[in-house]
Chains A and B, each alone.
Chain A
Amino acid sequence: MIEVAGLLHDGRTSRTLDATLRVYDDGTARLTAGGAEQNLVFADLAIPQRLGNTTRRVGLPDGGQFETRDNDRIDSILDIHGSERHGWLHRLESRWGIVVLAAATAILAGGLFAVKGIPALARTAAFATSAETNALLARGTLELLDQSFEPSELPEPRKQALRAAFDGIVVDASEGYAFELLFRTGGLVGANAFALPSGTVIVTDELVELAERDEEIVAVLAHEVGHVVHRHGLRQAIQDSLLAVGIVLVVGDLSAASGLVAALPTALAEASFSRDFEREADEHALAWLEFHGIDPVHLVHLLQRMEAEQGGGFDISFLSTHPATDERIERLLGARPEGDGDAGGP
């Protein structure tokens, strides 16, 4: 006979009674509470599986509940009279070896999934959709951007020349995109270029003026076209949402203050995604420039001048969305044919 002390709650009122549950060797049971007795059999008792050392609630046929913290005795009853002693979850949870192994696996798998899996999934998804669907993502973006831009003040012949150069680049790009080159005054944005998923590329007057040779602008345009044909806009949207879901699954419903903790890995991962896109666009530009016999050093020169203009200085590479300029330059120059010297320089 096993005797367990606990409390009885009948389920009709919140009255609590000190109670004793006795389970006899022949499978009969008796519950004594507040001077009353209930005769039961083991099969009447709904005994939940163990969850750590938390309170165990044994369900009774009349809707009542016997509550106890004496998990060991309840487990002994289960040992003698039947069914499984613990659920498989409790077995997993009570073995530190398994838990440590699981934790290590989870960290490794989670990290690998964030860094490799999410970008791969996003790439597959982005290229599974048609170019037209991809372009839908850009709807309204130009209007939004134009709120911070002013119309371009470049002379029309200059624009015509650059448009012709742009057409030369996009002729080689895959079909399905509505390529178009637009000029704007950047204002606060300064010298920069943007690509929308639809194929619209925007160049600021400041960038055109900063460039000393047309090859430099052409190189930047090839980089932006790289963003378009690699569908970076759609892929970024997919990656960021997958990442958000993943982080919520891991971190769970943390309080607002600890949200700061979730924000950091999010920012790190997003910055890493963005740097990968910049590298991919650089490679696209590089391939195009090489094919057309243009020295990639032109992109380098413009990058250097842009950095000088923006002041640079505060460059923490793991937080920045573009690879450090020096690193990009090194890669671009590394790709040049041997013995090419600095022939293309001004």
Chain B
Amino acid sequence: MAEASSLGSEGVGDVAGAEPDFQEHGFEFHGTASEYFRIWVVNLVLTLVTFGVYSAWAKVRTQQYLASSTQLAGASFAYLADPMAILRGRAIVVGFFLVYFTASLVSTYLEFAMSIAMVLAIPWAVVRSMSFRAHNTAWRNIRFGFRADYGPAFGAYIGYPLLGTVTLGVLYPDAIFRQRRFIVNNASYGSTGFRIGSRSGQFYRLFGLVLLLVVVMSITVGLGVGLVGEQAILGAVLIALPFYFMMFGLIAAGISNLTYEGAQLGSHRLSSKVPAVGLATVYASNAMAMLLSLGLLIPWARIRVLRFRLRHMSVRAAGSLDDFVARQADDVGGAGAELGESFGLDLGL
């Protein structure tokens, strides 16, 4: 049984050194840009032809392709969502926004009430979305899971971020930490829960670096504009662009690493050591390629990012990975997943 009592988060950093019998399993990615390009184009055309209805099936096919192309310790991941569930979810989202739009035309008070309702629904939507996605992802024929109550979700997605804003960002890194902890600690594989391995302080370090980068960028752009003069706007954009990508690389790699590195699953550990500069380079070259190819290289770019990230992630297994036990089946509808999508929350777990 892998229903291991959790080890507690103290001293996580030293565990790898203390227990030499960890066996490292890397993620292998077998997808190719050429295959994915063809799937993407067919999806796109069918979505256009059906005025968007096919997009639910397109999403499932894409996720199936990416999951099935990812292997860990010999077995690949599976994406099992029912396209109809996703379509129903999308219909609910569209219905909600139609009601919202109509209400906003009728009265300002109604619009205000609707916005409050929408904000209150966000935590629910996030939880639904993550449950749907986790429940429909499997490895070795065992599903992942995600369960959380409304209260903690409200704290993680509304309460603490609000506190972070009110304190002019001082508590913001802590809010992000709490959000990531919420995501990891409520996730499970079979009947075994995940537990985050990072601490609040590490998020402060990350955002401190980001802040430093912003300061350096402002100074450089200021100096650059002073030098270039007349063509100031164009010059400023050119100077700021590398910083922009570096910032995204730093944040994306940093958050991913702080989320997964050292996270526990039973007695096993996850590892994520995505290099920020490398990721920034991938982002920058991807953006260039997508622009120059008028979007035709979007599939290639997606595969590239995924491959790069997976190459730097692994599972450090303490012994066999054979002992996880499935949880009793329970169905999770698609509405939350689609609400999450329409809010642009893509929380790649």
**B25-84, CB < 8 A from A:** 30-32, 35-39, 41-42, 44-45, 47-48, 52, 55, 61-62, 64-65, 68-69, 71, 73-76, 78
Total number of A residues with any Cβ neighbor in B under 8 Å: 54
| Residues A249 and B47 in contact, CB atoms below 8 Å apart | yes
| Residues A54 and B65 in contact, CB atoms below 8 Å apart | yes
Q: Which residue of A lies closest to B290 (CB)?
A: A261
**A10-27, CB < 8 A from B:** 10-16
**A129-155, CB < 8 A from B:** 133, 136-137, 139-140
- Interface segment, one of B167-175, B205-213, B291-299: B291-299
Q: Is B142 an interface residue (CB 8 A)?
A: yes
Checking B64, B73, B248 against A54 with a beta-carbon cut-off of 8 angstroms, the contacting residue is B64
In the complex, what distance in Å separates the CA atom of A99 from the CA atom of B73? 34
A190 cross-chain contacts in B, Cβ below 8 A: none
- Assuming the A-B contacts A52-B65, A54-B69, are A13 and B75 also in contact, with contact meaning beta carbons closer than 8 angstroms in the complex? no
**B188-238, CB < 8 A from A:** 189-190, 233
Q: Is A124 an interface residue (CB 8 A)?
A: no
Checking B45, B141, B190, B233 against A314 with a beta-carbon cut-off of 8 angstroms, the contacting residue is B233
Total number of B residues with any Cβ neighbor in A under 8 Å: 63
Q: What is the minimal beta-carbon distance from A282 to any residue of chain B, in angstroms?
A: 27
| Residues A12 and B325 in contact, CB atoms below 8 Å apart | yes
A15 cross-chain contacts in B, Cβ below 8 A: 140, 322-323
Q: Is the interface of B mostly helix, strand, loop or mixed?
A: helix
| Residues A14 and B74 in contact, CB atoms below 8 Å apart | no
For the A-B complex, the count of residue pairs with Cβ-Cβ distances under 8 Å equals: 155
A106 cross-chain contacts in B, Cβ below 8 A: 41, 44-45, 48
Q: Which residue of A lies closest to B248 (CB)?
A: A257
| Residues B48 and A253 in contact, CB atoms below 8 Å apart | no
| Residues B65 and A9 in contact, CB atoms below 8 Å apart | no
In the complex, what distance in Å separates the CA atom of A256 from the CA atom of B347? 12
Q: What is the minimal beta-carbon distance from A102 to any residue of chain B, in angstroms?
A: 4
Checking B36, B108, B140, B245 against A16 with a beta-carbon cut-off of 8 angstroms, the contacting residue is B140
- Name 16 A/B residue pairs within 8 A (Cβ), A-sorted: A13-B323, A13-B325, A15-B140, A52-B32, A54-B65, A89-B42, A93-B35, A94-B38, A103-B41, A106-B41, A113-B48, A133-B105, A136-B105, A249-B47, A249-B48, A257-B244
B interface with A by C-beta (< 8 Å): 30-32, 35-39, 41-42, 44-45, 47-48, 52, 55, 61-62, 64-65, 68-69, 71, 73-76, 78, 105, 108, 139-142, 189-190, 233, 244-245, 248-249, 252, 283-284, 286-287, 290-291, 294-296, 298, 301-302, 305, 321-326, 341, 346
